[in-house]
Amino acid sequence: MAYPDRDAEYLNKLRDYYAEARRIPSHQRVAELIGFSKTAAQKFLERLSSAGFIIRTPDNDAWMPTKTFFQRSLATSAVRAGSPEMIEPMQGELFLIDDYLVKKPSATIMIPVKGDSMTDAGINDGDLAVVERDKTAHPGDFVVAVVDDEFTLKELAKEKNSFVLKPHNKAFSIIRPKDALEIYGVMVGLVRRYFR
């Protein structure tokens, strides 16, 4: 038997399943996943639909997630890097990572960072740079630029009347392009995943 007051718990199980399988499972699989009957699974999915978490596909043969499905809880207080502080994530507003990082979806691309020329700025090998293609670059911005037909991520800086690309690692030299500097996009965010 399904318990509507535990739908948040069931929804999180469904989110975990989706993260691995990249699809909303059938009624039968939902029943097996959560541990109740196929009828209860159907009612649960209908409740999720009413709450705006899932919708039917255009041909009405399956469920698919909505934007709301991917929302996460945002804590009401920031975490301190010093003294411990209580965090209460369920009391905060709902938060969608895309809404925070991506302001112009059609002009935004995620680019993997390779190398260690920006480590002193906290940008490491393996990070994902969130880059906005049509954003105007200003000195001090981190930009993806084209230099000698290769892409590089550096800080845009100015020397006299010329733009240069400044690394954030003393082992690397400032790049002073001979021709016009081509800016591919401006970094507006950074994504990092930590592994054990």
Count Cβ atoms below 10 Å from residue 118 Cβ, excluding itself. Answer: 24
- Domains in the chain and their CATH numbers? 4-70 (1.10.10.10), 101-191 (2.10.109.10)
The amino acid at 182 = E
Q: CA gyration radius for the chain?
A: 23
Contact 186, 143 (CB under 8 A): yes
How many angstroms separate the CA atoms of 107 and 37, rounded?
Answer: 45
List, by residue number, the catalytic residues: 117, 154
- What letter represents residue 55's amino acid? I
In the numeric block, the tokens 């965010």 are attached to 189
Per-residue pLDDT of 129-144, as tens digits, reads 999 998 899 999 999 9
Query: Could you report the per-residue pLDDT of 24-79, keeping only the tens digit for each?
Result: 998 889 999 888 888 988 999 999 999 999 999 998 888 999 988 888 776 666 55
